[in-house]
Amino acid sequence: MTAGSTIRRGWFRLLKATVNPVAVAVVRRGWGPLSLVRHTGRRTGAQYETPMLLVRVGPDFLAELTYGPDVAWLRNTLAAGGCTVLHRGVTYPIGRVEPVPPSAGLAAFGHPAALVLRLARRRDFRRLHVVPEKGL
């Protein structure tokens, strides 16, 4: 393990322990721009909530993978075949998750977010497909 990866891991642990609990509390109240991705641990079966900045793309959501594609929420969602998203006080069931080309991902975020993401060289995006409600 390199010094850089050790520092990076420590930084992520610090964020998870300090920022995430505050962000989760804010999102649960329906405040702010964040959403919660609720997923089940693939080994533990424990329930987790991950605060994320998601954008709507039609009926679905688009996520920028700030920490890359090897993140727990994505691995858990793929293993379970779905998750739920709490967005502005409404819970949406998510079925499929699929990669999105960088150009489409950046376009979905719009300006100025797309400019910031481009400058940060973000290239990993996923579309979270909302499971349609069954007809009456």
In the predicted structure, residue 64 carries a pLDDT above the cut 80: yes
Going by their DSSP bridges, the two strands 47-52 and 60-64 should be labelled as unpaired
Backbone angles phi, psi at 28, to 5 degrees: -60, -30
List of E strands, 1-136: 35-40, 47-52, 54-57, 60-64, 83-87, 90-100, 125-130
For residue 36, give the nearest of 78, 79, 94, 81 by alpha carbon: 94
73 or 26, which is more confident = 73
How confident is the model over 7-21, as pLDDT tens digits? 766 766 666 666 667
- Give the pLDDT mean for 86-110: 96
Percentages of the chain per state (helix, strand, coil), in multiples of 5: 35, 30, 30
Residue 36 pLDDT greater than 90, yes or no: yes
Instruction: Give the torsion sign (CA, 48, 70, 33, 11).
Output: positive
Q: pLDDT band for position 77 (50/70/90)? A: very high
- C-alpha to C-alpha distances, 38 to 9, 16, 20, 27, 91, nearest whole angstrom: 22, 15, 13, 12, 10
Tell me which of 3.30.479.10, 2.30.110.10, 2.60.40.60, 3.40.50.880 is the CATH number of domain 3-130.
2.30.110.10
Query: For the CA atoms of the chain, what is the radius of gyration?
Result: 15
